[in-house]
Amino acid sequence: MKFNLSEITELIKSRRSIRPESFSSRKVQRDQIELIIGNAQWAPNHGKTEPWRFMVYESEESRNVLSQALGKIYLEEVNKADQNDAKLAKLIRRPLISSVIIVVCMSRQKEERIPEIEEIEAVACAVQNMQLTATAYGIGSFWSSPKIIYSDRMKKFLEIGEKDKCLGLIYLGYSK
């Protein structure tokens, strides 16, 4: 056997969503972030389109920009009567208490040869690779997909194309 199957199985079984509220102040290192993203790029994808795009928010300044943008988009997207103070506070707080946030997007190919659903599925496979790599490092990860990330306002903030999609926010940090 080329790989230790029991270790791979244990890694898969050990992966858990760890909410940012459980993160410590310990920072995820740049080389770890690079390997997490590097492994994401080995995900299967039909037609070799590699539709995933990652935006890394690591510095305090960039995480603050993301935090403020999420709060603003929430207030603009959600009807006033449906707004929830706790949900708003969580959207604003999570980028500030995470070591790093990776915004995951799907970049739609111009030719549209591959069905959109297959591109989305490829990105989901990339996210699984990211989360397994984080788990191997002992880093907690949480894939968040609040409704506002699918909005045109979010696309504008991220500067992604009309047919592209934001598919989630991956929060990374060490568990307390």
- Global pTM exceeds 0.75: yes
Percent helix, strand and coil across the chain, each to the nearest 5: 55, 15, 30
Strand partners, 106: 52, 165
Rounded average pLDDT over 130-155? 98
- CA separation for the pair 17, 57 (Å, rounded): 19
33 has a pLDDT exceeding 90: yes
Q: What is the pLDDT of residues 107-126, one digit of tens each?
A: 999 999 999 999 999 999 99
> Do residues 154 and 148 touch, judged by C-beta distance below 8 A?
yes
Which residues touch 47 (CB under 8 Å, ≥6 apart)?
A: 113, 114
Mean per-residue pLDDT of the chain:
97
Rounded average pLDDT over 115-143? 98
3-state secondary structure of 57: strand
